[in-house]
Structure 1
């Protein structure tokens, strides 16, 4: 489900070269060690690395039989997803361009767990890497309504999911994990 790939034929060719990849879900501002862990596993597995950003401000309208995805924005005046993808792609390029690894960045649309799962199916991915969410009441409310991406991936597909914790550790004696 790529929203940034120019054509279905180009995507199909690229998908062939990315078979058995490691997929890492990245958001702008996410700690860099999430991408570093994904890179480490891609190197260990001898696999290409696919950095994905899921634009939740768009939804899938329909998918062509050849797999090309058409999407539409939830708000016609909003193009935040494109800016976020540019940030993710720039951060990935900075971290990965000097590495000896095949990598690419893709923007997906819609529900993060479903979009990542579908891409993993297309690429027959070996591993999915995602970071934990940020602590805070806002994130707790979001997760209450949408659910944990990690949990939904772990329960809805057969590939291993590596969940990389945030850099901030919650002390054992702290009762409330997500203080306001």
Structure 2
């Protein structure tokens, strides 16, 4: 039997992702303050503006760093995350609202790829946008690789 355009992979159907729908309603983008993530956010903002979609800026606090091994380190890391989120909201409000982009900020803790997919799944987002790896010599770091391997929706990796 030849597959047709209406055949949907079982995993995508379970996730509620609609393959081939008209237009984009929401775009999830991972942001962490790095230049590649800011490039990804800028690209995703342009897509959201053109499609009149909601841009969901997701900051995933990676709890695997050594800062989380002690109560004092965890308090400092959590404080730094809250400061970054406040800065992100202020910057997004200034730039995105000015250009008519509907946006929101979501804060998660844990593995970035898993958290981004979880947020996208919950919101039934049309795609996930991330920046390229910050490591030299490779476009795909662990987050883009993990998303490309397991996501039920398109993943865009922005240089």
The answer to whether 1:100 aligns with 2:100 is yes
The answer on whether the counterparts of 2:131 and 2:158 sit within 8 Å (CA) in structure 1 is yes
The answer to whether 1:151 aligns with 2:156 is no
Partner of 2:114: 114
Long gaps (5+) in structure 1: 1-18, 59-72, 166-180
Deviates more, 1:108-117 or 1:80-89: 80-89
Partner of 2:131: 131
Partner of 1:40: 46
State the 4+ residue runs in structure 1 displaced beyond 3 angstroms. none
CA distance in 2, matches of 1:30, 1:116: 18
Long gaps (5+) in structure 2: 1-23
Q: SS at 1:54's partner residue?
A: strand
CA distance in 2, matches of 1:105, 1:161: 19
> RMSD of the alignment, in Å?
2.7
Partner of 1:4: none
CA distance in 1, matches of 2:101, 2:122: 20
CA distance in 1, matches of 2:71, 2:63: 10
Q: Superposition pairs for residues 1-180 of structure 1, below 5 Å?
A: 20-30=25-35, 32-57=38-63, 74-77=69-72, 78=76, 79=78, 80-136=80-136, 148-165=142-159
Give the superposition deviation at 1:76: 2.2
Higher helix share: 2
The answer on whether the counterparts of 2:127 and 2:156 sit within 8 Å (CA) in structure 1 is yes
TM-score normalised per structure 1: 0.61
CA distance in 2, matches of 1:76, 1:83: 18
The answer on whether the counterparts of 2:28 and 2:56 sit within 8 Å (CA) in structure 1 is yes
For this pair of structures, how many residues does the alignment match? 127
